[in-house]
Amino acid sequence: MYEKEPPPADGPEAGLRIATRGVPADEELLVVGILADAAAVELLRRTVATTTDRLSIAMDLAEGLTRVSAQAPDLAFVDVTLGGNAGLAVVHHIRALSPNTTVYAVTRGDRLELGLQAVALGSHGTLVLPLSGDDVLTAVGDVRRRRAEFRQRERALDSRSQDSAAATLCADLGELADAVSRRAAAERLASIFKLRLSARRVLVYLVASEASRPLMRVAVEGERSDEPAFCDELELLRYASAQRLEVIRLALRREQLGIVLVDVPGDQGALLATAAAAGTLAVALVGAREQSSRGAMKDPESSAYTFAYFVDVAGREIDIARRHGRRFALATIVVQSRSRETSSREPTVDAAERVLEAVRDTDVLARVDANEFYLLLPETGGLGAQACRRRVLEQLSAFSPFEVAMGLSSFPHDGADLSRLLRVAKHRADACARSVVEVFGLQHVPFVELLDALLGTVAVQSVGVGVDLESPRYIELPAMDAVGVALAAVREAARGGEVRVVATQHAGISIGGAVRAEVAREIEGVRLDVVEVSALVGAENVDLLVIVAQQGCYVLVGRSEGGLVRAVHAADPLLADTLLRRLSEATQTRLVD
């Protein structure tokens, strides 16, 4: 089969494709001729050349069957006299190989009985040699007409199917107006979109409140990935483009209510437009009812506030902090089920109650997701936020069926807008879940064994190669260089304000002794505890530095041997807490507030 024009003058197997102006490309037919008569071949070539169709010629039966099998033509002309009348069998074979191919038998005038037999075997009709152009064009036109009728029926059936699907979708979405909250409406909307649009993945984002432009993720159906939890519209559209997701806007005139991202098969433009209109109306009705109710400040399933209320309060707190130079902190708390059998919704109520017991009355706890909370800590710096984190984790530690991760961010060090602060807190919560303490189950390991585990080959190879700042790194330094690293870390932490430092001291050059001397001489605002470990069995040469600052936490811990310090360092709050607790137990001192 060929696709070039004009056709070669020599070679009856040559094919051609001549386009006719104004005829759609999808209207062309593929025509196969299995003919040995040279005059018939030339006539067929000249006639098909006047159309938009393609022609492929085979001079024998074997080649003809091969072309039919490979190309599945729309129309075939078969000389049934070929091969000692074996062309009759070819008619039957073509119908078996390509059921949608229309076959015309070609025979001589003295062998008309072969044409009748061909019709009995599935031929659509019989043409008698010599062929005429009208015969060929009539056959081609008949195939084109029947194909057009078939497509018209398909479109009609598809239209009725789409109308039915749209009606079902609208009916389902209409029931969303009965939802108790926008979050509940969004969760049901995601479920309906996944079912009715056959979507592989659905993400629903709603504006946090009337006064805020950022969008919050409130529902996910399908496999979860790295979708943002809180972002502006431009960031979300970039994410949708990168993931090749369809964007459905929920908007009333110029007021945007939210955005839905869907991964749907095929082109469902009309159905997506229906989904957008019906979904917008349902969410708007629920939002209006939620706004009219003062109870909307509280999450209906727990004692926490709604995310919309949280955004409003956080916005006011940012304004106050900017005007008056104050600090505040945000926290993300994620409570995950340890087993698949335990529902992810079960921890919601109990977790909220336990967190509220650990925080101040002025702190604002909001439920963000089925297992996620945000906590606003007004007028709280880094040290106060870390102390709050420890209290919350202690309260939730008895929550044995569930894993808890908590991340902090502080204003203005980690960001000056709510979106940035929430992203930082979320990242640190994820890092908490990946902490070396959680990965290797080091929560209750005694101090010396904990140190050896950190310095061990498994811990260093498995965790020390991480790319996050919170991931432990293994270092080997001369003792004086290690002291220099420790002093630089203390000075940097002190630039942000008040700092809590715990260090160990032993015979010879030690980090604790150097830090004590430096703090006494020139570093202000540092609350320092230096612990003597020379008498502690197995810890005689341990160097430990833990810094809790406005910017976060830092840990440097290792052993000093022959003037060389082998150590692990990380910005890991959970590791810092664990080391301080185990050191407190080993030395009978109080190092954790």
Strand partners, 543: 558
Q: What is the CATH number of domain 442-587?
A: 3.30.870
Peptide bond into 130 cis (omega under 30): yes
Grouping H, G, I as helix, E, B as strand and the rest as coil, residue 95 is helix
Pinpoint the alpha helices (H) of 175-302: 182-196, 233-243, 269-292
Q: What is the pLDDT of residues 217-262, one digit of tens each?
A: 888 888 877 788 878 888 889 999 998 898 888 887 667 788 889 8
Short-list 581, 292, 288, 282, CA closest to 443: 581
Q: How many CB atoms lie within 10 A of CB 236?
A: 21
Long-range contacts, 388-392 (Cβ 8 Å, 24+): 388/329, 388/331, 388/358, 388/359, 388/363, 389/331, 389/573, 390/577, 390/592, 390/593, 391/358, 391/359, 392/331, 392/333, 392/354, 392/355, 392/358, 392/359
Number of neighbouring beta carbons within 10 Å of residue 315: 17
Helix (H, G, I), strand (E, B) or coil at 100: coil
Is residue 186 predicted with pLDDT exceeding 70? yes
Superfamily of domain 175-292: GAF domain (3.30.450.40)
pLDDT (mean) for 81-104: 85
Residue range 155-171: average pLDDT?
A: 60
For 425-435, write each residue's pLDDT tens digit. 988 988 888 88
Backbone phi and psi for residue 155, each to the nearest 5 degrees, phi listed first:
-65, -40
DSSP-derived secondary structure for 290-346: HHH-GGGGB-TTSSSBPHHHHHHHHHHHHHHHHHHT--EEEEEEEEEESSTTS-TTT
Neighbours of 89 (CB within 10 A): 14
Asked if pLDDT for residue 502 goes beyond 90, the answer is yes
Residues 251, 238: Cα–Cα separation, whole Å = 19
Q: What is the mean pLDDT of residues 259-274?
A: 79
Q: Do domains 307-433 and 442-587 have the same CATH topology?
A: no
141-170: average pLDDT: 68
Class for domain 16-131, per CATH? alpha beta
Per the model's pLDDT, the better-predicted residue between 159 and 344 turns out to be 159
The pLDDT assigned to 446 comes to 92
| DSSP bridge pairs for 554 | 547
Percent of the chain's residues with pLDDT above 90? 16
Region 478-485 average pLDDT: 92
Cβ-based neighbour number of residue 276 at 10 Å? 16
Top mean pLDDT of 95-99, 317-321, 349-353 is at: 317-321
Average pLDDT over residues 79-104: 85
Domain coordinates in residue numbering, the chain: 16-131, 175-292, 307-433, 442-587
Architecture (CATH level 2) of domain 307-433: 2-Layer Sandwich (3.30)
> Pseudo-torsion of CA 18, 21, 22, 24, nearest 10°?
20
